[in-house]
Amino acid sequence: MKRVALVVSLIALAAPVMSQAAAPAGSLDNGKLVYEKWCLPCHGSRVDTGFPGTSNALYPGAAALAVKYKGTQPPLLTDRTNLTAELVKTVVRNGISAMPRSRKTEINDAELGDIAAYLTQKKPKSK
């Protein structure tokens, strides 16, 4: 009887650790899709259209970051290498400066985790 109680106790203690280790880090593919839907319209840039004055034009959020960081950080969030999942989640959920907060009815918690995984994935170092 004591062995059964000991085994049950050990399983109960290990369960939270095992579930945290098995938790997925977020879907990069879904993170990209959600980012493109909700974030890219403000934090992206235009593609090269071939028309004078329109190539490499930054959208408002990216332009604001370009002004803020004055070349010390990339203005496009997808080019950043110093973002943390916690920062991404906090800013998306609460907003910052002119960026509005995102409600859970717009971006649910799973999608928010996917965006954070997408933006914080390891990127190759630039040359």
Quick: pLDDT tens for 26-59: 899 999 999 999 999 999 988 766 666 555 688 9
Domain total for the chain? 1
89: in domain: yes
Whole-number Å distance between alpha carbons of 75 and 65? 5
Average pLDDT, the chain: 81
19: in domain: no
The enclosing domain of 106 has a CATH number of 1.10.760.10
pLDDT tops 50 at residue 4? no
84: in domain: yes
Q: What local confidence, expressed as pLDDT, does residue 105 receive? A: 96
12: in domain: no
Instruction: Say what the pTM is.
Output: 0.71
Cα atoms in the 13 Å half-sphere on the side-chain side of 16: 3
